[in-house]
Structure 1
Amino acid sequence: MEKVLSKQKIPAINSWSLKEELKLVHIKVCGITSEEDAFQIAQTNIWALGFIFVEESPRFINPDKARQIIWNLPASIVKVGVFRNHPLEDVQFVRSFCSLDLLQLHGEEPPQFCEKLGRNVIKAFGVDESFDPSVLEDYAKVVDFYLLDSAQRGKSGGLGIPFNWDKIKNIKKQISRPLIVAGGLRKENIVACIQALQPFAVDLNSGVESAPGKKEARKLVEIIQILEKEVKK
């Protein structure tokens, strides 16, 4: 995990102020589908780029194309592969083939599945009205990050809407892994999300797009500028 966590230390829960949160939060942009988008976004010096290998997703990218993009990205950018209920051998193959730094599991993968992958795993959980935060700690010994995303009618991820942050506002006191927050994050709500949940990272997707799979670097720059402005207040 040295490469992934080397940029910034994670402060103790009780030491956070809003300005510290904004300074420390990492940014991941998910759903990269083109070389042009990847390179433009990489110039903003964000933490990570995500490549979705789920065929049903409008942001699906095949491993051959992802590999070509990843090979030409700066080493400082963390490369994340997103999977949903894939066979173990498929995940392992794509991880090696594309030189992925992190694996993000967005399905119903049990802890035993995560353990077989070794380290550098993000486990995603969909948050709806029935969400029970205690399930996260079932994975504490086998994953490196928790990711929370919006869920509706059994579907999670890619919905483009935020979940109810109030439902999990005290979750940092209950978990032992860094928290990544996704789900409809955009310039209008990014500061409120960070203030409410104090995450290690925010995961941006539709909020920095002009269309599904088409990233717009200008929107990402606007978000970064908003965060910088808040820090300077």
Structure 2
Amino acid sequence: MKIKICGLKEQTHVEVAVQAGADYLGFIFVPSSSRYISPEKVADITKNVPKSIKKVGVFVNPTIVEIERIQKIAGLDLIQLHGVESKQLIKNISQPVIKAIPADNFLIKEAIAAYPTDTVLLLDTPSNSGANFGGKGETFDWDKVEWSLLTGRKFFIAGGLTNGNVARAMEQLHPYGVDVSSGVETSKRKDSKKIRAFIQIVRKEENDE
């Protein structure tokens, strides 16, 4: 089970996530987000992160020039897209792509048809606004998703995951990975204890299966 801690802004929390056993570290490059971080700061706070732990840049409707510039500065390993990016843009991205989609059966079918099988999907809670970059702490109704649509596809579950429900998500949904942001925060700031606990719960559930 892959674990992604998203919306990181401080070196302390990067170090906690690495030491606790996270697989992916997510950084938000959307200026309107409260979790926005500059690529220069990402480069600084991740300089000691082992290469085995992947750095993910989160974007909404970026240009390829913007992606390439930020990727070069921050040293990103993967690009995560939350907008309505074209298939051509995705083809032009050199790094592996995670494509976030609202957890809606029609949109899941569209995504499966549109994106190659090596594009990892990330199911997130549908948003009523255009700025759907997650981190709202809202869970979607897992029972309304036709999970059989995702057979043979790697997918992350996001949207309202916490230390209280991540084990159930793993048992019920069998994702490739779990993605958490607000679920490991206290007062809109990452919480080291919650990060450690989240990762411990996932690893325990993984070992128990």
Tell me the TM-score normalised to structure 1 length: 0.81
1:136 to 99, 111, 127: 111
* 2:59 counterpart letter in structure 1: F
2:17 to 41, 48, 63: 41
2:145 to 164, 168, 171: 168
Identity %: 35
* Cα distance in 2, alignment partners of residues 71 and 228 from structure 1: 26
* Cα distance in 2, alignment partners of residues 97 and 227 from structure 1: 32
Which residue of the partner structure matches residue 74 of structure 2?
98
DSSP-derived class of the 2:3 partner: strand
* Cα distance in 1, alignment partners of residues 166 and 140 from structure 2: 13
Shift of 1:46: 1.1
Shift of 1:73: 1.5
Which residue of the partner structure matches residue 171 of structure 2?
195
Higher mean alpha-carbon deviation, 196-205 vs 110-119, is at 110-119
Structure 2's unaligned 5+ residue stretches are: none
Which residue of the partner structure matches residue 4 of structure 2?
28
* Cα distance in 2, alignment partners of residues 131 and 57 from structure 1: 27
* 1:69 counterpart letter in structure 2: I
* Cα distance in 2, alignment partners of residues 73 and 228 from structure 1: 20
- Give yes or no for contact 2:23–2:54 (8 Å, CA) kept in 1: yes
Which residue of the partner structure matches residue 183 of structure 1?
159
Shift of 1:43: 0.7
* 1:187 counterpart letter in structure 2: N
The answer to whether 1:152 aligns with 2:152 is no
* 2:21 counterpart letter in structure 1: N
The answer to whether 1:50 aligns with 2:29 is no
Shift of 1:76: 1.9
DSSP-derived class of the 1:40 partner: helix
Aligned residues: 206
- Give yes or no for contact 1:111–1:138 (8 Å, CA) kept in 2: no
The answer to whether 1:86 aligns with 2:54 is no
* Cα distance in 2, alignment partners of residues 175 and 90 from structure 1: 33
* 1:215 counterpart letter in structure 2: K
Higher mean alpha-carbon deviation, 63-72 vs 180-189, is at 63-72
* Cα distance in 2, alignment partners of residues 127 and 228 from structure 1: 25
Spell out the pairing of 1:58-77 with structure 2 (5 A cutoff): 58-77=34-53
- Give yes or no for contact 1:83–1:106 (8 Å, CA) kept in 2: yes
Shift of 1:58: 0.7
* Cα distance in 1, alignment partners of residues 204 and 95 from structure 2: 36
RMSD: 2.0
The 3 A distance-change label for structure 1 pair 119 and 229 is closer
* 2:141 counterpart letter in structure 1: N
Tell me the TM-score normalised to structure 2 length: 0.89
1:122 to 84, 98, 121: 98
